[in-house]
Structure 1
Amino acid sequence: MNLEQQVQALVDGAPDIESRMSVMAIAPILQQLAATLPQTTYYICQSPQGESVIITLRHHRQPNLEIKVIYAFTRTEDIGSFDNGSLATQLAVEVPVIQLLFYLLAIPEIDRIVFLNNSQNLDIGKEISRQSLEDSIAQKLKKEAPKNHLPPDVC
């Protein structure tokens, strides 16, 4: 599925007209971010119960600082090679990139998604944070909001 088809699937899967309108409003930002990634689908890990595996990272100097991350892989084989095989026992599920970016907005437990695009070096990835995605959406919506200025000839 290309990115436009992925957006359409997300719109079609919305439960009501208001949700569809919201998805259509943010779709250009999701597409713009997805276009910066080399894959249109990624593999993520899921538990046997079907929940996305969210990894909690803690800073060694500041143990109170936590970041909750989903790792997205280009190949299922990469999951077994990542982090000394710590995710190898999880189920690998292929997910369209637009849906993954939407997860970042829809699932409050996720702070970031790290896209691991280089199978040769899984220590380097492209990180997209919830905050940067929310900021991009807010900027877009602010630009498109109707101007509430009075015409210059109004007394």
Structure 2
Amino acid sequence: MRRKSLTEEKCPVARSLDIIGDWWTLLIVRDALSGVTRFNDFQRSLGAAKSSLSARLKALVEQGIFEIQPAADGSAYEEYSLTSKGQALAPVLISLGQWGLAHAFKPGEPASPLVDKKTKHPLKKIELRSFDGRKLRASDIRFLSGLD
């Protein structure tokens, strides 16, 4: 199946998926949020083919999610660093991880919880809030279609 571009869609979910829609991309960003910066470390963590990883990292740089910088240790290597646009994906990945912990594991099955680095305590579940601070359920939200 040929992939359709969603760059002209009015829906912000569709446009977001056009940029970060495949699971490899989200796993690369997850690793970067955990401190991975070098190509070989991404490859080791993900087990991805060099050509696939290279193409995805190139696309993420072109989209402004990563930038390439000289290695922090002064070596000849380059490192991939998340931009503010890339770091803004953290709540997306945390929400996805929290959903996965609640729905993708059997009771008692080992999982890697999301924790606060400082306290090592699990993160509070991300909540949907209205503009005025009210807690919302999914049924309280509506995606406007542009026809509304």
Bin the TM-score by the shorter chain. Answer: under 0.3
Using CA pairs under 8 Å that are at least 6 residues apart, name the structure with larger relative contact order, 1 or 2. Answer: 1
What's the TM-score, normalizing by structure 2? 0.26
Judging by fraction of residues, say which structure has more strand: 1
